């Protein structure tokens, strides 16, 4: 019997704007307008400032912890721009702030969360974003469920879910990809491959040459893009979104980027990463190439840069002011939102602040009761 | 006699237990997220990669269900895995392996394949980690027959119990607390182990029996000291293991005091406290002069805000109030 090829595949790598700011005009056709690129670059400045101020706040004890987004702004903005605000849905992990802000999430929500207050997870109505997910990978299945609901209701909407290279080792990734392709739901899988899962390098996370090729086993399309290239990310995500909406199948986008900061403020990446490696990636920073491109097109200059930086500073300070101005939660609030209607037993606990047995005797309470302000 | 007692941190006691057992038995290895190169997310395995090398101190991909399952296979092949969950909260994604496979392997294989794996990591509220990272798994997992559950409250027991766990032929769930890893206490340099199923009497008194395990034992000791100021002396029993449970020591104490308060950092419904009280009622009802009480967390997910988390957990004030209630 002759040996035949049962299946063959290849993974493409897309880059449109290189690290020197040079654009491939042919590939860039039909992607971002000049206005969009200027807008995106201005947001990069704003959100980088916000990122920096968050780091400072944590160091001075005003923020509990914070995962820096530094260096990954193009991945978040390019994909966020490709999804339709108010129509499509974003199911994030925790390192794509820019996409969430673009879709209407008030930045003070993210700040409040990292300041140690889960009211920051309360998403304003009309903002199609789920709360950031920190257990690693669990959100991918939520995204598939959401997309499945869209499909059942025959709504022309699409979901994008974000996760890191580390999360592709979780069973949830496999299960989510498998369900998504089997049910053919309108979902885009967006992997921010930032090379490091805390201290574990990408090579130790998986023996695959690429993350993108993992798509093939599930019957999905896989594509690798330069994640620091706004154009490539936008183009790949737009195509993936349209394909998913049309029932054409799932796309797994692997955005090659780099975590220029630490995993979180609780980490010190200098202990396990080479300075030379970090420096080589710092040169590929999306902000550098985007600015170079805009300058080469005559769309940007020193004056605009200075003004944009002033704007970013004011923007970040405003977010700090807003998030620090929110009063602490009342103790009794911890009993809220557990059930649609609070059960009697829980109500009694809330009113006496006692565990079950002690709560039988609220009249003998020697403890603080509800309504008192916590310290 | 005047020789200064050797004091080390809780995390160092854990490390000593693992290192000593690894030197003693080459079947033992440690696997988990960040345990090798990073020296452990909480520095429990600091320096172990240097001593034992990457074949025995193994960084795993982020895949709890994956490495829990790998441990089952490795144990079947005669090895003695120690599996570190960065937090027991993350063990929930490995539930099929650790609850549906590990405790049943021996039973289902007619005694052929045991599963001598130690699963260890941080349990309970670690300090503003939010509800998804603050799980107390003892309430949930102690329901499952086939596992042993050890939960030390101090460095001495941490080392002695972990050595016992590693040598044990059954799977052991070993519950630590991020909040105690820096606690210092006396740990002798000499070889010792702490047996499973033997509670330690930490304070003695006739007024009431306080029963606890793990971190809240320390809150009970604070409460006992507070109560002593007003002339109330209580027994404080540190259970040290939940499965097996040393109910005899509890009944012996209740027989003396006639009162019992169980302090448990799990949710109240179907908790270890519920089980202890049920057993006290079943076995020592006639000794009781007051209904048993329990101090659990509030029956809500662990709140994220600092003040709410404190209000949610058992603490000295709640324990003192409960003891006073039994004496009222």
A205 and B61 within 8 Å at the Cβ level: the answer is yes
A221 touches chain B (CB under 8 A): no
Q: What is the pLDDT of residues A19-49, one digit of tens each?
A: 999 999 999 999 999 999 999 999 999 999 9
Q: Are A256 and A224 in contact (CB under 8 A)?
A: yes
Q: What is the pLDDT of residues B238-272, one digit of tens each?
A: 999 999 999 999 999 999 999 999 999 999 999 99
pLDDT of B43 > 70? The answer is yes
- Least confident stretch, A79-88, A109-118, A128-137, A252-261: A128-137
Give the mutation candidate from A357, A365, A373, A375 for the B interface (greatest B CB count, under 10 A).
A357
pLDDT of B226 > 90? The answer is yes
Q: Which residue has the higher pLDDT, B256 or B55?
A: B256
Give residues with Cβ within 8 angstroms of B105, minimum separation 6: B72, B76, B113, B114, B115
pLDDT of A303 > 90? The answer is yes
pLDDT at B51: 98
CATH 3.40.50.970 domain span(s) along chain B: 7-186
Q: What is the pLDDT of residues B92-132, one digit of tens each?
A: 999 989 999 899 888 888 787 889 999 999 999 988 999 99
Active site residue A218: no
Which residue in chain B has the smallest CA separation from A354?
Answer: B298
Which residue in chain A has the smallest CA separation from B261?
Answer: A357
- Partners of B268 on chain A (C-beta within 8 Å) are 355-356
What residue segments make up the domains of chain A, in order of their start? 12-324, 331-373
Give A297→chain B minimum CA distance, Å. 44
pLDDT at A367: 46
pLDDT at A370: 43
Chain B, window 122-141: residues with a beta carbon less than 8 angstroms from a chain A beta carbon: 128, 130-133
The CATH homologous superfamily for domain B7-186 is Thiamin diphosphate (ThDP)-binding fold, Pyr/PP domains (3.40.50.970)
The size of the A-B interface in CB pairs under 8 A is 131
Q: Which numeric CATH code is attached to A12-324?
A: 3.40.50.970
Chain B, window 151-190: residues with a beta carbon less than 8 angstroms from a chain A beta carbon: none
Give the mutation candidate from A356, A361, A370 for the B interface (greatest B CB count, under 10 A).
A356
A335 and B133 within 8 Å at the Cβ level: the answer is no
B90 touches chain A (CB under 8 A): yes
Predicted TM-score of the model (pTM): 0.86
pLDDT at A358: 58
pLDDT of A353 > 90? The answer is no
pLDDT at A375: 31
Task: Write out the DSSP string of A326-369.
Answer: SPPPPGGGGGTTSSSS--HHHHHHHHH---HHHHT-GGG--S--
This model of the complex carries an ipTM of: 0.77
Q: Which numeric CATH code is attached to B200-327?
A: 3.40.50.920
pLDDT of B227 > 80? The answer is yes
B18 to B48, B86, B163: CA distances (angstroms): 9, 16, 7
pLDDT of A276 > 90? The answer is yes
pLDDT of B54 > 50? The answer is yes
pLDDT at A338: 81
- Partners of A205 on chain B (C-beta within 8 Å) are 61-62
CATH 3.40.50.920 domain span(s) along chain B: 200-327
B312 to A348, B276, B297: CA distances (angstroms): 14, 21, 5
């Amino acid at each position: 019997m002759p040996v035949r090829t049962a299946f063959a595949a290849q993974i493409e790598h897309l880059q449109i704007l290189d690290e020197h700011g040079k654009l491939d005009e042919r590939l860039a056709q039909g992607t971002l307008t000049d206005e969009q690129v200027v807008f995106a670059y201005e947001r990069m400045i704003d959100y980088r400032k916000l990122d920096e101020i968050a780091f400072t706040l944590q160091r001075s004890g005003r923020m509990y912890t914070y995962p820096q987004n530094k260096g990954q702004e193009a991945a978040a903005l390019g994909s966020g721009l490709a999804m339709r605000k108010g129509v499509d849905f974003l199911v994030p992990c925790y390192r794509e702030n820019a996409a969430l802000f673009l879709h209407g999430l008030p930045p003070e929500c993210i700040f409040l969360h990292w300041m140690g207050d889960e009211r920051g997870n309360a998403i304003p109505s009309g903002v199609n974003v789920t709360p950031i997910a920190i257990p690693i990978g669990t959100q991918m299945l939520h995204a598939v469920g959401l997309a499945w609901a869209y499909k059942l209701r025959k709504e022309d909407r699409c979901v994008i879910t974000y996760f890191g290279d580390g999360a592709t080792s979780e069973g949830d990734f496999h299960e989510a990809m498998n369900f998504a392709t089997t049910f053919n739901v309108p979902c885009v899988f967006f992997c921010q491959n930032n090379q490091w899962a805390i201290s574990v390098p990408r090579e130790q996370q998986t023996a695959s040459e690429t993350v993108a090729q993992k798509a093939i086993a599930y019957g999905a399309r896989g594509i690798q893009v330069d994640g620091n290239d706004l154009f490539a990310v936008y183009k790949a995500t737009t195509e993936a979104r349209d394909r998913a909406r049309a029932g054409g199948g799932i796309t797994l986008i692997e955005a090659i980027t780099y975590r220029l900061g630490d995993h979180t403020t609780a980490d010190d990446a200098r202990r396990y990463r080479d300075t030379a490696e970090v420096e080589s990636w710092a040169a590929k920073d999306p902000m550098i190439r985007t600015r170079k491109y805009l300058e080469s097109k005559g769309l940007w200059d020193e004056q605009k840069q200075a003004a944009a930086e002033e704007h970013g500073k004011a923007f970040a300070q405003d977010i700090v002011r807003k998030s620090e101005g929110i009063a602490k939660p009342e103790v009794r609030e911890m009993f809220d939102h557990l059930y649609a209607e609070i059960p009697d037993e829980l109500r009694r606990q809330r009113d006496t602040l006692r565990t079950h047995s002690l709560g039988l005797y609220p009249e003998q309470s020697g403890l603080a009761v509800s309504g008192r302000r916590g310290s | 006699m005047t020789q200064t007692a050797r004091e080390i941190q809780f995390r160092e006691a854990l490390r000593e237990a693992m290192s000593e057992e690894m030197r003693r038995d080459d079947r033992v290895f440690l696997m988990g997220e960040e345990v090798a190169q990073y020296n452990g997310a909480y520095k429990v395995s600091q320096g172990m990669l240097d001593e034992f090398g990457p074949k025995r101190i193994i960084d795993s991909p982020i895949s709890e269900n994956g490495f829990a399952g790998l441990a089952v296979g490795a144990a079947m092949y005669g090895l003695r895995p120690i599996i570190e969950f960065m937090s027991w909260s993350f063990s929930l994604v490995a539930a099929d392996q650790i609850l549906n496979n590990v405790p049943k392997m021996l039973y289902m294989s007619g005694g052929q394949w045991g599963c001598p794996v130690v699963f260890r990591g941080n349990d309970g509220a670690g300090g503003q980690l939010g509800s998804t990272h603050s799980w107390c798994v003892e309430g949930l997992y102690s329901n499952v027959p086939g596992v042993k559950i050890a939960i030390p409250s101090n460095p001495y027991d941490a080392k002695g119990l972990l050595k016992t766990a590693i040598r044990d032929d059954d799977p052991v769930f070993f519950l630590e607390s991020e909040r105690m890893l820096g606690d210092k206490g006396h740990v002798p340099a000499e070889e010792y182990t702490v047996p499973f199923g033997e509670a330690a009497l930490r304070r003695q008194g006739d007024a009431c029996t306080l029963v606890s395990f793990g971190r809240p034992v320390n809150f009970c000791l604070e409460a006992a000291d507070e109560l002593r100021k007003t002339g109330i002396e209580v027994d404080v029993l540190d259970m040290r293991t939940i499965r097996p449970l040393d109910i005899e020591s509890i009944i012996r104490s209740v027989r003396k005091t006639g009162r019992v308060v169980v302090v448990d950092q799990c949710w109240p419904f179907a908790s270890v406290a519920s089980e202890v009280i049920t057993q006290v009622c079943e076995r020592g009802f006639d000794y009781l002069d007051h209904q048993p009480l329990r101090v659990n967390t509030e029956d809500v997910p662990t709140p994220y805000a600092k003040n709410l988390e404190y209000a949610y957990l058992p603490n000295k004030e709640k324990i003192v109030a409960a003891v006073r209630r039994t004496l009222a």
